[in-house]
Structure 1
Amino acid sequence: MYIHAVSHYFPSEVVGNEHFTRLNGLSSEWITERTGIRERRKAAPDENTNTMALEAVRRLFDQTAIDPSQIDLIVGATYTPYDTIVTLAHVVQHNLGVPDIPVISVSTACSSLINAVEVVEGYFAMNKATLAVVVVSEHNTAYNNETDTVSGHLWGDGAAALLISKERISDEDMTIHTIITGGAATSGKATTGVMLKPLEQGVLMPHGRDVFINACLYMPKVSLQVLEKHNLTIDDVDYLIPHQANLRISLNVINTLKLPETKLLSNIQKLGNTGCAGCAIALSENRSLFKKGQNIVLTVFGGGYSFGAMLVEV
């Protein structure tokens, strides 16, 4: 399985930490020290989960000679949908104009990217598809309560898209070697650690410490598992892209794995927590940095709880 192209989009409006200082008295230094976040992006009034996803997909096809009519699978991922019936993936299908193909949207909170790619892996294995678009998009600020001093300052908006093929299309394609995912709903305060109940309130994180502890446990663990499955060790890793939830979590993960900070790719400092889009945005942003033969591990953790990792070779 191969990543033929990857793209990203985030809104133009920048919201600095000073906004939250004015709103609820949280200092910029306090936010940065605890989260690593200096600023985040906010969707414009005419933007939403779907519009950001469509822009990411448009940029995706700008990178390739592949015509959208060749796509035979679309998988979308979000926990902040614009429409809960006409899903993110259906909107992408409508926009691309490709009829009568499998169209699926998944949600495993912030780990949805890896689950979406795993769905593609399954369709490829069953010979039900050969060329897929995976699109991840989050409009966190639509659901967020900015006045919440616990988590209101964490969230940003953005989207990314991947064009994944069963067979290699070009020499520039990145190989997906191994994917492992799992649910951890029996761990800690999984079902109450992070919640979003749209009919009741915005995003809540009443047990942030428990989320932190479990994220720091599961992301290193599953990262080592994908390496072991491919007979690699941590020394073979060139870059690690962890879920962009908190810079302190990311640093804890690389310290646990005994990786130098130079191998950590992070965008939370400028984008905030962009949910399941964060890792894919980082992969796209740093595409020109990667060299042939390098190994990249993407590792994720989401509310609920859920986890996963994917080994990619350039």
Structure 2
Amino acid sequence: MFINSKGYYIPTKRVDNNYFAKLNDLSEDWYFKRTGILTRARASEEETINYMSIKAVENAIKNLPYDIHEVDLIVFASYTPNDTVGTTAHIIQKEFNINNAKAFYISSACSSAINGMEIINSFFKSKISSKALLICADRNSSYSDDRDTQSGHLWGDAAVALFFSSEPIRPNEASILDINTLGLGNVGHGPQAVTMEPKNGLHMPYGKDVFTHACVYLARLTDTIIKKNGYSISDLTYFIGHQANKRILNNVCHELGLAENKSLSNVEELGNTGCASAPLVFAQNYDIFKEGDLVCLSVFGGGYSCGTCLIKFN
């Protein structure tokens, strides 16, 4: 499974800690110490999840080595969809007139991107598909509450698009060596830890439980997939964890014995952009990767769920 092109869209508006400090009568430092976040990307009224996703695909098309109409599978991954009937996958299919493609929506909270990759890889292995488009996007501001001091200050908005093929299209394309996901609904507070219910919006009533299990499973899955593929942690060029909290990322690096300069991050500026976060960091940093680099994406989502993938630059 090969990565053919990447693209992303990030709203230009930033919401800083001063906004939340004034709104909730807390200090700016209170927010930064708990999260490592200084600002969050915030979508405007115009920047719907469909708009951001279309822009991300347009950005990816610029370097796509084949016609987008050759895509035969479209997967949209999100937990904040604008519509669960006319999904963003179908909006993308219509917008770009992609005929004869399967199109559907999946959700496993913030681990949805890796679930999407795993599904695409399965379609490739079974010969059902040969070229696929994965769109990962969350517009958390549609559902979050800025006055919620437990988690309202965490969320950002963004979209990322990745094109994949079952066979290499051009020389030196990055390849997915391995993918693994896991449902963790039976762990800790599981489905009650992060919720997004009708009329109640997006909330995280058990933040400490989320923090603890995110640290454990991000480190565990990363270590497992690296060793399974015959590598050691020292072989890892870059680690990209789910961008939920800078303290979680630092904790995972410490647990793995990984130098923090090997951990790529955007959470300080963009906040937790949901299932877009890890692939967004990957797409933003794509130009720094070089031949021989080994990159691991590791994610954790409410519910709970987790996933990891190992990428080699050929």
Give CA deviations for 1:126-174 in whole Å, capped at 9, x if unaligned.
1011110000010000101111111111000000010111111122411
Match of 1:206 in 2: 205
Partner amino acid, structure 1, of 2:157:
D
- State how many pairs are aligned: 313
Q: Answer whether contact 2:7 2:60 (CA < 8 A) is retained.
A: yes
Partner amino acid, structure 2, of 1:220:
A
1:21-40 matches, cutoff 5 A: 21-40=21-40
Match of 1:159 in 2: 159
State whether structure 2 residue 198 is matched by structure 1 residue 232.
Answer: no
State whether structure 2 residue 131 is matched by structure 1 residue 131.
Answer: yes
Partner amino acid, structure 1, of 2:82:
Y
Give CA deviations for 1:39-78 in whole Å, capped at 9, x if unaligned.
0111111111111011000000011232111111111100
Match of 1:217 in 2: 216
* Structure 2: gaps of 5 or more residues: none
Match of 2:50 in 1: 50
* Runs (4+) off by over 6 Å: none
| Alpha-carbon offset, residue 236 of structure 1 | 0.9
1:81-100 matches, cutoff 5 A: 81-100=81-100
Q: Answer whether contact 1:5 1:60 (CA < 8 A) is retained.
A: yes
Match of 1:146 in 2: 146
Match of 1:68 in 2: 68
Match of 2:269 in 1: 270
- CA separation in 1, counterparts of 2:21 and 2:31? 9
Structure 1 stretch displaced more, 93-102 or 124-133: 93-102
Give CA deviations for 1:245-268 in whole Å, capped at 9, x if unaligned.
000000111111000011000100
Q: Answer whether contact 2:145 2:202 (CA < 8 A) is retained.
A: yes
Q: Answer whether contact 1:31 1:37 (CA < 8 A) is retained.
A: yes
| Alpha-carbon offset, residue 108 of structure 1 | 0.2
Could you tell me the TM-score, scaled by structure 2's length?
0.98
- CA separation in 1, counterparts of 2:218 and 2:21? 32
Give CA deviations for 1:220-279 in whole Å, capped at 9, x if unaligned.
111112112211111110100000000000011111100001100010000000000001
Q: Answer whether contact 1:4 1:172 (CA < 8 A) is retained.
A: no
Match of 2:310 in 1: 311
Could you tell me the TM-score, scaled by structure 1's length?
0.98
State whether structure 2 residue 102 is matched by structure 1 residue 102.
Answer: yes
Partner amino acid, structure 2, of 1:267:
N
| Alpha-carbon offset, residue 6 of structure 1 | 1.1
- CA separation in 1, counterparts of 2:304 and 2:136? 19
State whether structure 2 residue 16 is matched by structure 1 residue 16.
Answer: yes
Partner amino acid, structure 1, of 2:286:
R
The alignment yields a C-alpha RMSD, in angstroms, of 0.9
Q: Answer whether contact 2:151 2:203 (CA < 8 A) is retained.
A: yes
Q: Answer whether contact 2:4 2:65 (CA < 8 A) is retained.
A: no
Partner amino acid, structure 1, of 2:120:
V
- CA separation in 2, counterparts of 1:17 and 1:170? 44
SS at match of 2:191: coil
Match of 2:246 in 1: 247
- CA separation in 1, counterparts of 2:32 and 2:3? 34
Give CA deviations for 1:93-151 in whole Å, capped at 9, x if unaligned.
11110123211211000000000000100100110111100000100001011111111
